[in-house]
């Protein structure tokens, strides 16, 4: 088969979320012909990321090594606020918006929530407020109730971001201003 490597590259690129056939073709052309240095740097970055990046043992966020930068930062650990997100990449989005100075906790599946770890963090860092930063949906409302119920003996304030965030839209599709408003205007629950 002719151009086997090129076809294979396009096929792999197409596996990446949000990259369609047209983009895959364009990127493959850039990498394989137009900018081989970029391609090799990219290959190297991907290899390093795959080897070094994992989920933080404390919060479940993205970490280079065992513990993420946020969980290593004393000023953040003792802010009294813990933000619960449903995906590690939501932490990056909130961090990029520079609107939150506390710590995070990732819960991806209600059945597997590490309540022991969550309670340990609440106690250890003297957390007073839990903020749920889920995109609004029936599922996330159910998850909030479930978590709140499990933590009801911890004397916590619970709040959730809501304002300006449409139902069913992921945090990665929300502009920074709306996200800032949503966090500042968080409602107690
Ligand atoms: Zn962490």
pLDDT value at residue 94: 92
Q: Residue 147 C-alpha to ligand 1 middle, in angstroms? A: 19
Rg over CA atoms, the chain: 20
Q: What is the DSSP string of 81-123?
A: EEEEESSHHHHHHHHHHT---SEEEE---GGG--HHHHHHHHH
pLDDT value at residue 104: 95
pLDDT over 90 for what percent of the chain? 57
On whether both 180 and 101 belong to a single domain, the answer is: yes
Q: Residue 84 C-alpha to ligand 1 middle, in angstroms? A: 12
pLDDT value at residue 176: 78
Q: pLDDT: is 173 or 127 the higher one?
A: 127
On whether both 30 and 118 belong to a single domain, the answer is: no
Query: What is the per-residue pLDDT across 155-188, written as a single tens digit (0 to 9) for each?
Result: 899 998 865 666 767 777 777 777 787 777 787 7
Q: Residue 5 C-alpha to ligand 1 middle, in angstroms? A: 39
On whether both 88 and 50 belong to a single domain, the answer is: no
pLDDT value at residue 84: 94
pLDDT value at residue 56: 93
pLDDT over 70 for what percent of the chain? 94
Beta bridge partners of 158: 130
Q: Residue 143 C-alpha to ligand 1 middle, in angstroms? A: 21
On whether both 37 and 86 belong to a single domain, the answer is: no
On whether both 125 and 162 belong to a single domain, the answer is: yes
On whether both 20 and 103 belong to a single domain, the answer is: no
Q: Is residue 59 part of a domain?
A: no
On whether both 14 and 36 belong to a single domain, the answer is: yes
On whether both 90 and 123 belong to a single domain, the answer is: yes
pLDDT value at residue 180: 80
Q: For the domain that residue 131 is a member of, what is the CATH number?
A: 3.40.1360.10
Q: For the domain that residue 19 is a member of, what is the CATH number?
A: 1.10.8
Query: What is the per-residue pLDDT across 56-103, written as a single tens digit (0 to 9) for each?
Result: 999 999 999 999 999 999 899 889 999 999 989 999 989 988 889 999
Q: How many CB atoms lie within 10 A of CB 146?
A: 14
Q: Residue 72 C-alpha to ligand 1 middle, in angstroms? A: 7
pTM of the predicted model as reported, rounded to 2 decimal places: 0.78
Question: What's the whole-number mean pLDDT along residues 124-142?
Answer: 88
- Look over the chain and give the mean of its residue pLDDT values, rounded to a whole number: 88
Q: Residue 61 C-alpha to ligand 1 middle, in angstroms? A: 5
**Spatial separation of the C-alpha atoms in residues 12 and 8, rounded to whole Å:** 6
Q: Residue 106 C-alpha to ligand 1 middle, in angstroms? A: 9
Q: Residue 73 C-alpha to ligand 1 middle, in angstroms? A: 9
Residue carrying structure tokens 């309540």: 115
Beta bridge partners of 157: 129
Q: Is residue 62 part of a domain?
A: no
Q: Residue 118 C-alpha to ligand 1 middle, in angstroms? A: 12
The residue range of the domain holding 92 is 68-188
């Amino acid at each position: 088969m002719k151009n086997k490597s090129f076809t294979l590259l396009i096929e792999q690129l197409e596996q990446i979320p949000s990259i369609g056939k047209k983009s895959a073709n364009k990127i493959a052309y850039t990498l394989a012909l137009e900018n081989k240095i970029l391609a090799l740097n990219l290959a190297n970055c991907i290899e390093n990321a795959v080897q070094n990046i994992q989920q933080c043992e404390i919060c479940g966020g993205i970490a280079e090594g065992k513990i993420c930068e946020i969980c290593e930062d004393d000023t953040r650990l003792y802010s009294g606020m813990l933000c619960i997100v449903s995906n590690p990449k939501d932490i990056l989005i909130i961090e990029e918006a520079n609107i939150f100075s506390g710590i995070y906790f990732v819960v991806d599946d209600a059945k597997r929530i590490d309540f022991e770890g969550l309670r340990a963090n609440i106690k250890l860092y003297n957390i007073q407020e839990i903020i749920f930063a889920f995109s609004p949906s029936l599922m996330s409302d159910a998850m909030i109730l479930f978590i709140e119920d499990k933590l009801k003996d911890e004397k916590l304030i619970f709040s959730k971001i809501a304002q300006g965030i449409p139902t069913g839209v992921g945090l990665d599709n929300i502009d920074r201003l709306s996200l800032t408003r949503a966090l500042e205007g968080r409602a107690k629950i």
